Amino acid sequence: MPGLSFGKKICQWCVQHEAAQRGEEGEDAKQIVMPAPWVRRGQGSITLTQALLGANAMVFVAMVIASGSINEFPGQIRVHFGANFGPYTLSGDWWRLVTYMFLHGDFWHIAFNMWCLWDLGQLCESLYGRWTFAALYVIAGIAGGVASVGWNPYVNSVGASGAIFGLAGALIASFYLGEFSLPRAAIQGTLKSLVFFVGVNVVWGLFSSGTDNACHAGGLISGLILGALIARLAPDHGKPLPRSGILLFVFLLVGASALGVEHWRGASMRYRSAILAERNAARR
């Protein structure tokens, strides 16, 4: 569509069309077919979104084998595979803020999250690029984990939803602020769908006892911040340094928040972790 200039003063189709109107192009001139400007070449056939889906699926299969079921994995299995559980996370197992993103509670949990990741991940990866998308996903997921152990450290938190909410937040901020140089009419439908997705899941979480709302909120807020900063300060893909600076700044902000949560709840969590360790030793 000639109206979609995607940041250029005029697109190739418009150049050819105007040349034809001036009589500079013959009637048999070959029509230009332009690829979508967000499609990036040279990155291989497997996308990062597909790799994340595969990683989540493999971990789920391993949990099924370990538990012998696909329904509601026991807490012990979740913790063993790296769930975000306050007494362990805040006692030094900080790696759980990453591993929990690849674990899920049961079949329906992973099915819904992977459906969302497939849609939002493909869109986010195509628009932001592979490495920005990867950083967004990880930072939002960690932020969701920090919010979870801060709000309710005794929740045995698993799932990719914190990171997925971060992707939604980043896209909402970027579309609203116009980072992708698209006309408002071209993004209005997608923006409404994203807002609807977030709204429905927030309402659902309020009435669902098994939903980690703090994790969703942490991922969403961090995604909104990242998307807004990138849109305003580093929209150019060709200048990676400003964008890397923004990602590093937000990552450090999330890290500082984690240290604040550890200072707030760390003592009681270490005490609880010691009790759990004694109980586990007694069972052996």
List, as own/partner pairs, every contact residues 45-52 make where C-beta atoms lie below 8 angstroms and the sequence separation is at least 24, other chains included: 47/122, 47/125, 47/130, 48/121, 48/125, 48/130, 48/133, 48/134, 49/117, 49/118, 49/121, 49/122, 49/125, 49/133, 52/117, 52/121, 52/137, 52/160
Q: Is 104 a catalytic residue?
A: no
Question: Which of 161, 174, 222, 273 is the catalytic position?
Answer: 161
Helix (H) / strand (E) element for 186: namely: helix 184-206
**What are the helix and strand counts (H, E) for the chain?**
11, 0
Is the separation of the CB atoms in 170 and 224 below 8 Å?
Answer: yes
Residue type, 230: I
Burial class of residue 281 (count of CB atoms within 10 Å of its CB; 0-12, 13-18, 19+) = exposed
Query: In whole angstroms, what is the distance from residue 218 CA to residue 139 CA?
Result: 10
Burial class of residue 50 (count of CB atoms within 10 Å of its CB; 0-12, 13-18, 19+) = middle
DSSP letter for 22, please: T
Q: Is 91 a catalytic residue?
A: no
For 203, other C-beta atoms within 10 Å of its C-beta total 10
Query: In whole angstroms, what is the distance from residue 12 CA to residue 18 CA?
Result: 10
Which residues are known to be catalytic?
161, 216
